[in-house]
Amino acid sequence: MAISDVQEYCHLTEADVEAIGRELDALRERVERSRGAKDAAYIRRVIRAQRWMAASARIGMIVAAPLDKRYRRPLQAASAVSLGLAKILENMEIGHNVMHGQWDWMNDPEIHSSTWEWDTGQPAEQWKHSHNYIHHQFTNVLGYDNDIGYGVLRMAREQRWTPANLGQPVYNALLATLFQWGVALHDLDLDAIRHGKKDPEEMRRQLAQIVRKGRHQLVKDYVLYPALTGPRWKETIRANVAANLMRNVWAYLIIFCGHFPDGALHFTEDELEDETRAEWYLRQILGTANFEGGPLLHLMSGNLGYQIEHHLFPDLVSNRYAEIAPEVRALCEKYELPYTTGPLHRQYGQVLRTIHKLTLPNRMTKDDRPPTGEGVTIEQHQRVRHEDTHQRRTELGAWSRAAGRSRA
């Protein structure tokens, strides 16, 4: 089910909603005021560690090349793992958060949202549109947020079922293993392309940028570095495939656990009308899910185990999410709001169950999400009617649309 009235769903008065907003504002202001040298040292330390891991992996593969098989294989395997971890750290804790502008306050031109280009197929510029704007502004709103299934999976019961959904388990496995390329195509808005609503000129510009970035990634991992290992180039390619696969599956897992466990809700566009800051906070809490784990797990997942805190304050430094999480949770308990969390394996188990259930039409399965009151949700038949008349938002898949007049 999808929520069309968050306030009513939560049984909160307007005064409650505003009080929640004030408490969250105070939390945010406190972290902003105390942000400083210790935080800057943290991100610089993470970047330094990531670069050493990447460099030692690349050097390890070169050094391993002339060695005897006995020594070469373990060194190559260790290098592949080190490279995979470096890519994970770069994408999750560094790239994602730097591009949100979390570290802009440091005034370091290198660690800045305008200059960071990350080690993955999607150009940073398109990511900042599809993720920072579309996903964070329209979080879990059906028909708006392309993260709901990435344009290939049916992740909500309100999304129309078609026989093509029977292949979801296969699409899901492909999405996980090829995740960087799925993300690379994310801002194209595959739904718009399927329905012939995509401006071809816009698509051409986006594709050209994706091809340029993709070519750079492919040359680096599958031509340049393998060439440096001479006759062992095939083994280096295999190691780099393994590293990319590690990163792809991990990034997919973390991202899907942030929005698709049972407690994370979907919304209709009614909820966007005249939304205040406090209502926006509320929608972020309801639309996201955390997972539990130790500091290393949170570091390697870009602190997205604190997905609720990240969605409340996407431009607040990620190393402070752990500190504010207990307070956000206490606030949710005080107002009897759901604070969805659990161990990573349980959260992903629920995601997998949803993916598999939604391969079938709704009449053949039961909804696992929490029940809601009368009149605060929309049902499948209403959604279908809505989709028939719905004009897709022009912002979707329009990263390069600085020329509004051309689309009129």
320 is a contact residue toward another protein (CB under 8 A): no
395 is a contact residue toward another protein (CB under 8 A): yes
112 is a contact residue toward another protein (CB under 8 A): yes
Nearest approach, Cβ of residue 318 and another protein (Å):
15
Q: List the beta bridge partners of residue 2.
A: 266, 378
Among 36, 48, 160, 201, binds another protein (CB under 8 A): 201
Among 194, 215, 277, 334, binds another protein (CB under 8 A): 277
32 is a contact residue toward another protein (CB under 8 A): yes
Number of residues that bind another protein (CB under 8 A): 41
109 is a contact residue toward another protein (CB under 8 A): yes
Q: How far is residue 159's CA from residue 88's CA, in Å, rounded to a whole number? A: 31
Question: Which CB atom, from 93 or from 199, has the smaller least distance to another protein?
Answer: 199
Question: Which CB atom, from 41 or from 59, has the smaller least distance to another protein?
Answer: 41
* Residue matched to tokens 């604070």: 339
Q: How far is residue 47's CA from residue 312's CA, in Å, rounded to a whole number? A: 25
Q: Among candidates 310, 274, 270, 291, which has minimal Cα distance to 158? A: 270
38 is a contact residue toward another protein (CB under 8 A): no
The region that residue 374 occupies, defined by phi over 0 for left and psi between -120 and 50 for alpha, beta otherwise, is: beta
Nearest approach, Cβ of residue 378 and another protein (Å):
24
Nearest approach, Cβ of residue 266 and another protein (Å):
20
Q: How far is residue 146's CA from residue 64's CA, in Å, rounded to a whole number? A: 43
* Exposure string for 308-331, b = 16+ CB within 10 A, e = fewer: bbbbbbbbbbbbbbeebbeebbeb
Amino acid at 138: F
- Contact residues: another protein, CB under 8 A: 14, 18, 21-22, 25, 32, 99, 101, 103-109, 112-115, 125, 128-129, 132-133, 136-137, 201, 205, 276-278, 280, 315, 395, 399, 401-406
